Structure 1
Amino acid sequence: MNWLPDDFVHPTLIPLPGGGHHLRPIREADTPLDHPAVMGSRERLWSIYGEAWGWPAATMTYEADQADLLRHEKEIAAHESFNYALFDTAETALLGCVYIDPPEKVGADAEISWWVVDELVGGEVERDLDALVPQWIAADWPFTQPRFVGRGISWPDWLALPELPGA
């Protein structure tokens, strides 16, 4: 059973409120911007995603990140899962990511999480992203029970949920 309708077309450019930033599907070619963004915020990202995903490893090389982004790009094309990168208007800086994944745990039809680089934590761009993501998911995605992991449910509570059969 597919988690998305066969005729679903995923959004390709999502502006943040206030202008100056947007989301778009990540690509392998984004590695020169992604790697420093991830590794520059690695300690905090590990505190969020480490237990659940084992990411990002302290030793993540540029090549490993490039392979990871190629995998994401292929998953997006196949509608298996989605990774949207947060960019400034000119795409000179990758400033965070939004993950939209099929559910692994019972009680949801999608699992969504997101992050921004350390410099943006607590600031206007993070607040704009926090406001945008749930509205965007409700407006443009075919989910009836999206779960916002790390927002609507804590990561420890998510980890404690029962796994979906076959997940």
Structure 2
Amino acid sequence: MPLVPADFDVPLVLDSPPFYLEPLGPQHNQDDHGAWTSSVEHIRSTPGFGKGFWPPAEGMSPARNLEDLQGHADDFAAREGFTYTVLDHETRIVIGCLYIYPQRDGEPGTRVRSWVTESRAELDAPLWRVVSEWLEGWPLEGVDYDAR
């Protein structure tokens, strides 16, 4: 079931220095894999991730990561969930990720999570602020995005 109405134009970019967000897809595999595998413990300590299954403590092969990215791209195309890669505005290096999905278990509302790499930890709160403001223009029901 689509997360947003058919008449809503889902943004393909959020250009807000120091961030540049675009839909996550297979083309980001190498950089995405490197970003999160360098920061597993940091991500797990980020609000919204502590009790989850991701990122896996045992890691994930690049091939499995590619499958995961394709799943996110498929969700985006079907409007069932929206995952954006968070890039450094100037270098376009992957520094994080943003997930916009329905709540689990059929609960009403929208669950939003984001992370940045440990090396860019100081950007976690600024990313939360930028995304929180951006999402005010989306037709989402009951946004749940853990404050920073």
* TM-score normalised by structure 1 residue count: 0.77
Q: Quote the Cα distance in structure 1 between the aligned partners of 2:132 and 2:96.
A: 16
User: Larger relative contact order (C-alpha < 8 A, sep ≥ 6)?
Assistant: 2
Specify whether residues 59 and 143 from structure 1 end up closer, same or farther in structure 2 by C-alpha distance, changes over 3 A only: closer
The answer to whether the 8 A contact 2:20-2:92 is kept is: no
Unaligned runs of 5+ in 1: 153-167
Counterpart Cα distance in 1 of 2:70 and 2:91 = 18
Corresponding residue of 1:56:
55
How do 1:18-167 residues align onto structure 2 when only pairs under 5 Å count?
Answer: 19-48=17-46, 49=49, 51-52=51-52, 54-57=53-56, 58-89=58-89, 92-104=92-104, 108-121=108-121, 123=122, 125-139=123-137, 141-148=138-145, 150-151=146-147
Aligned pair count reads 145
* Change over 3 Å in CA distance of 1:27–1:151 after alignment to 2: same
**1:36-72 CA-partner distances (Å, limit 9, x unpaired):** 00100012224453632x1122231111111100110
- Tell me, which stretches of 5 or more residues in structure 2 are unaligned? none
CA distance in 1, matches of 2:33, 2:20: 19
Asked whether the 8 Å contact 2:2–2:78 carries over to 1, the reply is no
Q: Output one character per residue of 1:88-109: Cα deviation in whole Å (capped at 9) or x when no partner.
A: 2355410011110012267752
Q: Which has the larger radius of gyration?
A: 1
Task: State the distance in 2 between where 1:92 and 1:79 align.
Answer: 25
Secondary structure of the structure 2 residue equivalent to 1:51: coil
What CA RMSD, in Å, does the superposition of the two structures yield over aligned residues? 2.2
- Match of 2:79, as an amino acid? H
The answer (yes or no) to whether the contact 2:37–2:59 under 8 Å persists in 1 is: no
Percent identity for Structure 1 against Structure 2: 26
- The 2-side partners of 1:60 and 1:107 are apart by 29
User: Which residue identity lines up with residue 55 of structure 2 in the other structure?
Assistant: P
**With structure 2 as the length reference, what TM-score do the two structures score?**
0.86
